[in-house]
Amino acid sequence: MQHVMKPNRPVGIVGYGAYIPAFRIMSRDISRLWRNEQDLNYLPIEQKSVPGADEDTITMSIEAANNALARARVNPNLIRAIWVGSESHPYAVKPSGTVVAEALEISPHAVSGDFEFACKAGTEAIQAAIGFVGSSMADYALAVGMDTAQGRPGDALEYTAAAGGAAFIIGPAEQAVATIEGSYSYVSDTPDFFRRAYQKFPEHGNRFTGEPAYFHHLRNSVGTLMEEMALKAHDFDYAVFHQPNTKFPVKLAKELGFTRDQIKDGLLVPKIGNTYAGAAVLGLTAILDIAKPGSRILAASFGSGAGSDAFCLSINNQIEEVRTLAPMTTHYVRRSVVIDYGTYARWRTKIIQT
Amino acid sequence: MNKVAIVGTGQTPVREHWELPIRHLAVEALLNALNDNNHAVTPQSIYVGNMLSGALSEQEHLGALIADYAALEGTEAVKVEAACASGGAAFRQAVYAVASGTVDSAAIVGVEKLTEMSGKNSSSALATAADADYETSLGLSFVAINALIMRRYMYEYGYEKEDFAYFPAIAHNNAQQNPNAMFHFAFDKEQYRKSKMIADPINLLDSSPIADGAAAAIVVPLEKARKMTNKYVTVEACEVGTDTLALDNRKNPIYLKAVERSTLKAINTAGMNHKNIDFFELHDAFSIITSLSLEASGFCRIGEAIKEVQTGRFNIDGQLPITTHGGLKGRGHPVGATGMYQIVEAVQQLMETAPSALQLDDASVGMAQNIGGSGATVITTLLKRTG
Amino acid sequence: MDIPRYWRLRNQRYKLEGSRCKACGKLFFPPRQICTKCKKREMEPYRFSGRGTIYSYTTVYQTSERFEKQLPSIFAIVKLEEDVLVTAQLADIQEWAVKIGMEVKMVVRKIYEEKQTGPIMYGYKFRPLIDVD
C-alpha cells in the first residue's frame, strides 16, 4: 500500500513569505537570571527572537502572508482558503484567519479556520491546502505556520521558545516556484509536550521529548517518504527539519544520512530560537531564497502529541523572478535588536499586571 | 444689533478644589459676577461653558443645575461645549443673545472640575477634543498631538527645545502676582531643561496644569450699562474660526488657520488694526501653542515668535504683554472655564482692577483668544475700556 | 468596548483605505463624504500604498489608562507617498533611530486589547524599512 500522498492535480508553492520579529534576547541573559550562568557551555541556542509588545500570531501572519502574496503575484480574490497553524492563536474562540483574510483583501469568498498541532500546525495547514488545490476545489490556498511561543520563566524551554513563521500560497504546479512532488504524515498518541486549556505555559516530558517523540516521528515520516519515492539522502540538495534546538535536527540529519551542508541553510534555530509552528517552514523559506532551479528539498516538521509531516519539493525556474519581491528570511534573521530580560519579561507579560 | 458691555466679573481661585463640587464652583463665580461693582443684576439667560462635566463629574445638564443652585430658578440656562474653547463659545452665545435684543442681560460662567477622578481619567477625557476615530482611539494623547506640532516646528525653523522656555517663564512670572493663579513659583532655564518629559519635546513646564475653577461675566446692552454704572468694558468683537479636528488633515499642521480666521474677523468687526491692541490673553495650553498663536494672529512673522519673545516684547512691561495673569500655564487651565478667565482678566486690566504688579498702564484694548482642541475652534474677543 | 467602532473602521485600520474624489481626484485619509476641494459628493474608496516618510514624531511618557501599559510609545505623523498625512504609532524602532524624513512602511499591529477578556484591536502602525522593502 502506497502511503505517500499526491494530489490528482499537481500543486506547488506559488508564493512564500517569512516573518521574524525584530527583537532578540541572548540565552546568556536568561541564564544569568535563572542559572547564574552555570550552563553557558550547554545553552541550546545563542539567542531567540522576541515579538514586540504589539505583535501576535495574527499580526505576524499578516506580515508573512503579505510577503507571500507579493511573491505569488495573484489576485487575492482567487485565494479560497486561509488556514493559520499555531499554538499561540490570540483568541481561544475567534479565528486568526479571518483577520488575515480581511487585511489581505482575500475575504469574503473563502474558507478559514485555525489549525493546532503544536509545532506542526503550519505544515498541517499546508497538507490541507495541497488537498484543497489538488482536488481543484480552489486554485489557491494560503497556509501559515506562525507562533509566539512561551516558556515558563526559568524553565529549560524559556531559552528556546521564540516567535516567527512563514506563509505559503499553494497553487497549480505550472505556476509554482516549487512543486510539491509528494508528502507524507505520521501520527501517534504521544504525550511528550502539551498545554491544557486556560494554561499560559506548556508542560513537557523532559527526555521523553527526544527519542519516543521527535526522533521516532521524524524518522518514520522522512523514512517513509524517501523510501516510497525511491529517494536517498544524496538525491536532495537541501533538507530542513523541525528545530526545537540545535542538537536535535543535527543528530537526526546525520542518522538519516544528510550532511551538514544539506541542512545548514535551513537551520535558523541558533539565531532565532524555536519558532514552533514556524520553525520548519521558516527554514524552508530560507532555502527557497537561495535554491537553484532544479534542486530538490526535503522539509519535515514535528508536532508534539505527536506527529510529523514530510514534503519533497523541487524548485522551478520562476523562483528567480520572485525572490526579491519581499524581504528574504536572512533579512529578518539579521534584523536583530537585542533587549534585556526586563523588557522581554514585560513584553511577554511575564510580569503580572493587573 | 445692540452694542454689548460687560458690567461684572467673578472668579474662583484656580486650584485642585477637592472640597468643592462643580456646581459650587460655578455658583461662586456667577454670584461674584452678579454682585460685582455693587450692583445686583438678575440675568435673563445663563450660558455655561464647560467641556467635561459629563465625563468627569458624571453630571450633564449643567444649565438648569447652576440656575437652580444660584437661586435663579426658572431662568433660561444651557451648557455650551467647544472643548477647551467652551468658555469663549458660551461668551459668544451670551453676546449674541444681548446684541440681538432677545434678552436684556445674560450671565456666562465657564466652569471645569478636572480633579474629580484620577489623572488618567482626566487625560482620556481631555483627549476627546481630538479626533476619536483617527487620533485618540489609536493611542494619541492630547499632549502627544501638540508634541507632534512642536517637533515639526523646531525642525522647520531650526529651534532648540530650550528656546521655548521664555513663554512659560513669562506666564509663571505673572502668575506669581495673581492670587487666583494655580502656580506661584518662577523657574530658570536649568529647571526647564530638567523638567520631566510628558511627550517629547513637551515637558511638564511647557504644559498647562489640570485644575478646577470657574469664572463668570455679566453682559448687558451698552445703553443699559451706561445707566447702571460707569465701570464697564465694551465688547468690540467676539468672532469664531474653525479648522479640521484632526491635525494631520490640515494643509500645514504648524500653522493655526483658525487663529488667523478668528483674529482677522474680530479685528475687522471691531474696525481696528493690530496696533490698537495693548495686550493679548492668549491660549498657552503648551509653549508651542503660544508661538503659533502669536504668529497666526499676525503679531509675529511665521517662525519668529521665539525670536520676538527674547526681546522682552511680551513681558508684562513690554510692548505687547501676554498672559498677564499667568495664562493657562501659570494661572491654570480648567478647560471649559479658561475662556472666561481670559475675559475676566482682560476686563480687570481694562477696569484697572488687576493686581498692582500686573496692572498695565493705560491699556485701552485687550484681546482674549480661546482655543479648542489643537486649533480646531478659536474664539477671539476684543474688549475696550470706556472713558 | 468599542467593538462597533473597531469593526466599522476595519478597512481603514487594516488597509489604510481612504477615499478619492471622482470629480477632481483629491485623495483623503480618513475617507470623507464630500470633497473639501471641489465640494462634489462623488467619492470612491482608495487604498493607500502604506509607504511614506516621517513628518514629525514624539515619544510619549504619559497617557490614558487604556494605553499606559505600552509606555513609552512613539507616535508620528507620516507623509504618505500620495501626499496625504496620517498619524500613527511607530513599530520596531527605538527613539534614537527616529528621524524626520525617514522612510516607513505600514504594518498591521495590535493597537490595544480590552483587558485579558476583551477584544484585541488591530490597526495600522508604521515601521522602518528592511532591506528589500
The pLDDT assigned to A350 comes to 80
How many alpha carbons fall within 13 Å on the CB side of residue A204? 22
Q: Which chains touch A (3 or more CB pairs under 8 A)?
A: C
For residue B182, how many C-alpha atoms fall within 13 Å in the half-sphere facing its CB? 22
Interface of B with C (CB under 8 A): 118, 120-121, 123-124, 127, 132-141, 143-145, 147-149, 151-152, 155, 196-202, 246-249, 253
B217 bridge partner residues: B9, B108
What is the structure's pLDDT at B36? Answer: 92
Whether the predicted pLDDT of A352 surpasses 80? no
| Residue owning grid cell 454689548 | B4
CB proximity list for B313: less than 8 A, separation 6 or greater: B319, B320
Q: What's the CA dihedral at B204, B206, B209, B214 to 10 degrees? A: 170
Q: Which of C55, C58, C100 is opposite residue B199, by nearest beta carbon? A: C58
Compute the distance between CA of residue A328 and CA of residue A311 in angstroms, rounded to an integer.
22
Give the CATH number of domain A181-319: 3.40.47.10
CATH 3.40.47.10 for domain A11-177+323-347: yes
Which residue in B169, B196, B172 sits closest to B184, CA to CA?
Answer: B172
The answer to whether residues C120 and A56 touch, using CB atoms and an 8 Å cutoff, is: yes
How far is residue A142 CA from its own chain's centroid?
Answer: 14
| B108, amino acid identity | I
- A349 band by pLDDT with thresholds 50, 70 and 90: confident
Residue pair B180/B15 in contact (Cβ under 8 Å)? The answer is no
Task: List residues bridging with A145 in a β-sheet.
Answer: A85, A166
The predicted pLDDT at position C115 comes to 81
Average of pLDDT values for A229-238?
Answer: 98
CB B164 within 8 A of CB B171: no
Domain that holds residue C73: 3-127
Taking the Cβ of residue C57 and every Cβ of chain A, the question of whether any pair is shorter than 8 Å is answered with no
Whole-number Å distance between alpha carbons of C27 and C18: 7
Report the alpha-carbon distance of residue B139 to residue C64 in Å, rounded: 8
Average pLDDT over residues A64-83: 98
Ranges of residues in chain B with a pLDDT under 70 are: 387
The residues of A assigned a catalytic role are 87, 119, 242
Mean pLDDT score of chain A: 95
Ramachandran assignment for A347, one of left (phi > 0), alpha (psi -120 to 50 degrees), beta (any other): alpha
Least Cα separation, residue B287 to chain C (angstroms)? 15
Sheet of strand C27-28, all strands in order from the earlier edge strand to the far edge: C27-28, C17-21, C43-47
- Could you report the per-residue pLDDT of A311-327, keeping only the tens digit for each? 999 999 999 999 999 99
Q: How confident is the model at residue A354 (pLDDT cuts 50, 70, 90)?
A: low
The answer, yes or no, to whether C and B have at least 3 beta-carbon pairs within 8 Å is yes
Q: Is residue C7 packed enough to be buried (19+ CB in 10 Å), middle (13-18) or exposed (0-12)? A: exposed
Which helix (H) or strand (E) segment is C83 a member of?
none
Assess whether B17 carries a catalytic annotation. Answer: no
In this prediction, residue C133 carries a pLDDT of 73
User: Does residue C32 lie in a domain region?
Assistant: yes
Residue at B227: amino acid letter: K
Neighbours of chain C (3+ CB pairs under 8 A): A, B
Instruction: Report the gap between the CA of C133 and the closest CA in chain A (Å).
Output: 6
CA distance C69 to B58: 26
Nearest Cβ partner for A54 among C94, C109, C131: C109
Asked if the Cβ–Cβ distance from C132 to A102 is below 8 Å, we say no
Nearest Cα residue in chain A from C47: A105
Name the pLDDT band for C1 (thresholds 50, 70, 90): low
Nearest CA-CA distance, residue A302 and chain C, Å: 29
- In DSSP notation, A150-196 reads ---TTSGGGGTB-EEEEEEEEEEGGG-SEEEEEEEEEEEEE-SEE--
Model confidence pLDDT, tens digit, residues B44-88: 999 999 999 999 999 999 999 999 999 999 999 999 999 999 999
Distance between CA B54 and CA B66 in Å, rounded?
14
Total domain count for chain C? 1
% of chain C surpassing 90 pLDDT: 84
> Is C113 part of a structural domain of the chain?
yes
Q: Is the peptide bond before A306 cis (omega within 30 degrees of 0)?
A: yes
Hey, is the C-beta of C130 within 8 angstroms of any chain A C-beta?
A: yes
The C-alpha cell that represents A297 in the structure block: 528539498
Check if C7 contacts A (Cβ < 8 Å): no
Q: Which of C37, C64, C85 to mutate to test the interface with B (most CBs of B within 10 A)?
A: C64
* Residue B348, C-alpha cell as written in the block: 480687570
Residue B59: which residues within 8 A CB-CB, separation 6 or more?
A: B22, B23, B53, B65
Quick check: A212 and A308 in contact, CB under 8 A?
no
Rg (CA), chain A: 19
Interchain contact C122–A (C-beta under 8 A)? yes
Phi, psi of A169 (to 5 degrees): -100, 115
Q: Which of residues 26-55 of C touch A (CB under 8 A)?
A: none
- Ordered by start, the domain boundaries in chain B are 4-119+209-385
pLDDT of residue C131: 72
- Helices then strands, counting H and E runs in chain C, come out as 2, 8
Asked if residue C15 has pLDDT above 60, the reply is yes
Supply the pLDDT for residue B387. Answer: 65
Other beta carbons within 10 angstroms of residue B223's beta carbon come to 11
Cα distance between residue C76 and residue C56, in whole Å: 5
**Which of C63, C68, C75 comes nearest B148 by C-beta?**
C75
- The single residue of B17, B84, B172, B238 carrying the catalytic annotation is B84
Q: Which three cell numbers stand for residue A21?
A: 520579529
Q: Which of B89, B71, B2, B60 is nearest to B35 (CA)?
A: B71
Flag whether C132 is in a domain: no
Of B317, B290, B331, B279, nearest to B159 (Cα)? B290
Q: Which of A52, A136, A129 is nearest to A84 (CA)?
A: A129
**What's the pLDDT at C90?**
98
Asked whether the beta carbons of B189 and B165 are under 8 A apart, the reply is yes
Cell 530638567 maps to which residue?
A: B194
Q: Which residues pair with A186 in a beta bridge?
A: A308
pTM for the predicted model, two decimal places:
0.95
Q: The domain spanning residue C69 has which CATH number?
A: 2.40.50.840
Cα–Cα distance measured from residue A176 to residue B157, given in angstroms and rounded to the nearest whole number: 54
Task: With CA atoms as reference, report the closest residue to B75 among B49, B52, B41.
Answer: B41
Q: Taking an 8 Å Cβ-Cβ cutoff, which residues of chain C contact chain B?
A: 2, 5, 9, 12, 30, 55-68, 70, 73, 75-77, 85-89, 95, 100, 111-112, 123
Question: Any chain A CB within 8 A of the CB of C129?
Answer: no
Helix A279-288 × helix A121-134 angle, to 10°: 60
Which residue among A59, A332, A353 sits closest to C122, beta carbon to beta carbon? A59
d(CA B373, CA B224): 36
Given a contact cutoff of 8 angstroms between Cβ atoms, the answer to whether A169 and A17 are in contact is no
Judge whether A262 and A238 are in contact, CB under 8 Å: yes
Whole-angstrom Cα distance, residue B183 to residue B328? Answer: 10
How many CB atoms lie under 10 A from the CB of residue C73?
Answer: 25
Output the pLDDT for position B121. 86
- CATH code given to domain B4-119+209-385: 3.40.47.10
Examine the predicted complex and report whether its ipTM is higher than 0.95.
Answer: yes
Q: Provide the grid cell at C6.
A: 473597531
Residue found under cell 479560497: A80
Nearest CA in chain C to A61: C108
Alpha-carbon gap, residue B342 to B327, rounded angstroms: 8
CB B139 to CB C67 under 8 A? yes
Q: Do chains A and C touch (3 or more CB pairs under 8 A)?
A: yes
Which pLDDT value is given to residue B119? Answer: 80
- Beta bridge partners, A170, equal A13, A141
The count of CB pairs under 8 A between chains B and C is: 105
pLDDT average, residue stretch A329-333: 97
CA distance A277 to A87: 7
Give the three cell numbers for residue B28.
461662586
Q: Which subunits have 3 or more CB–CB pairs within 8 Å of chain B?
A: C
Q: Which of A103, A328, A335 sits opposite C14 (nearest CB)?
A: A103
State residue B349 phi and psi, 5-degree precision. -60, -45
Domain ranges of chain A: 11-177+323-347, 181-319
Q: With CB atoms and an 8 Å threshold, state whether B137 touches C70.
A: no
Can you list the pairs that C57-60 forms with residues at least 24 positions away whose Cβ atoms lie under 8 Å?
A: C57/B148, C57/B151, C57/C90, C57/C98, C57/C100, C58/B144, C58/B147, C58/B148, C58/B151, C58/B199, C58/B200, C58/B201, C58/B202, C59/B197, C59/B199, C59/B200, C59/C95, C60/B141, C60/B143, C60/B144, C60/B147, C60/B198, C60/B199, C60/B200
Candidates C94, C125, C133; nearest CB to A54: C125
Check residues C68 and B166 and name the one with the higher pLDDT: B166
Alpha helices by DSSP H, C1-133 = 3-8, 10-15
Q: Which grid coordinates are listed for A318? A: 520562476
Cell of A29: 541573559
pLDDT at A353 over 70: no
Average pLDDT over residues C27-35: 98
Residue B37 falls in which region: left (phi positive, over 0), alpha (psi -120 to 50) or beta: left
Interface mutation target, options B126, B128, B133, B138, chain C, most CBs of C under 10 Å: B138
The three three-digit cell numbers of residue B130, written as one number: 481630538
